[in-house]
Structure 1
Amino acid sequence: MAESSKQELVQLIKRFGAYLTVKISNLLPISLQNLDLRSVGAIAGLAVAIVFTWRLLRSPSQPQRREPKRQAGTPGSSGVNTHSNVSLVPPRVSSSLEDSRAQNVVDEFFQSVKPTLGQIVRQKLSEGRKVTCRLVGVILEESSPEEIQKKVTVRSSVLEVLLEITKFCDLYLMERVLDDESERKVLLALEDAGVFTSGGLVKDKVLFCSTENGRSSFVRQLEPDWHIDTNPEIVFQLARFIKYQLHISPVRSERTAPNVFSAPALEQFFGCV
Structure 2
Amino acid sequence: MADTSKEQPLHLIKRLGSYITIKFSNLFSISLHSMDPRSIGAVAGLAVAVFFTWRLLRSPSGSQRRQRKRQAATPGTSGVNTQSNASLISSGVCSPSDDNRAQDVVDEFFQPVKPTLGQIVRQKLSEGRKVTCCLLGVILEESSPEELQKQATVRSSVLEVLLEITKFCDLYLMERVLDDESEKRVLAALEDAGVFTSGGLVKDKVLFCSTENGRSSFVRQLEPDWHIDTNPEIVSQLARFIKYQLHVYTFRTERTAANVFNASSLEQFFGSI
> Do these two structures clear the TM 0.5 threshold for a shared fold by scoring above it?
yes
Distance 1:215 1:40 in 2: 33
Give runs of aligned pairs for residues 1-273 of structure 1, distance below 5 A. 4=11, 7-9=14-16, 11-12=18-19, 37=31, 50=47, 53=50, 56=53, 91-107=95-111, 110-111=112-113, 114-273=114-273
Letter of the structure 2 residue corresponding to residue 215 of structure 1 = R
Give the aligned CA root-mean-square deviation in angstroms: 4.2
**Alignment partners' CA distance in 2, 1:129 and 1:39:** 15
Residue 128 of structure 1: how far off its partner (Å): 1.6
CA contact 1:15–1:99 (8 Å) conserved in 2: no
The residue matched to 2:110 in structure 1 has which SS?
A: helix
Number of aligned positions between the proteins = 237
Q: Residue 12 of structure 2 contacts residue 98 of structure 2 at CA under 8 Å; is this kept in 1? A: no
**Cross-structure match for 1:31:** none
Relative distance call for 1:221 and 1:248 in structure 2 (3 A) is same
Residues 45-78 of structure 1: per-residue CA shift (max 9 Å, x gap): 976862652574799999x9xxxxxxxxxxxxxx
Deviation at 1:134, TM superposition (A): 0.5
Instruction: Judge conservation of contact 1:230–1:247 (CA < 8 Å) in 2.
Output: yes
Q: For the structure 1 residues 44 and 258, does the alpha-carbon distance in structure 2 shift closer, same or farther, using more than 3 Å as the test?
A: farther
Query: TM-score if structure 2 supplies the norm length?
Result: 0.69
Check whether the contact 1:130–1:225 (CA below 8 A) recurs between aligned residues.
yes
Structure 1: runs of 5+ lacking an equivalent: 29-36, 65-89
Measure the CA separation in 2 of the matches of 1:258 and 1:103: 39
Instruction: From the two aligned structures, give the one with the greater helix fraction.
Output: 2
Identical amino acids, percent of aligned pairs: 65
CA contact (8 A) 2:17 2:54 kept: no
Provide structure 2 residue ranges, at least 5 long, that are not aligned to the other structure: 1-6, 65-93
Partners of 1:48 and 1:106 within 8 A in 2: no
Give the Cα–Cα distance (whole angstroms) in 2 for the partners of residues 251 and 44 of structure 1.
Answer: 44
2:253 maps to a residue whose letter is: S
Indicate the structure (1 or 2) with the bigger Cα radius of gyration: 2
Deviations 1:96-127 (A, max 9, x none): 434333322330xx44xx54433332232222
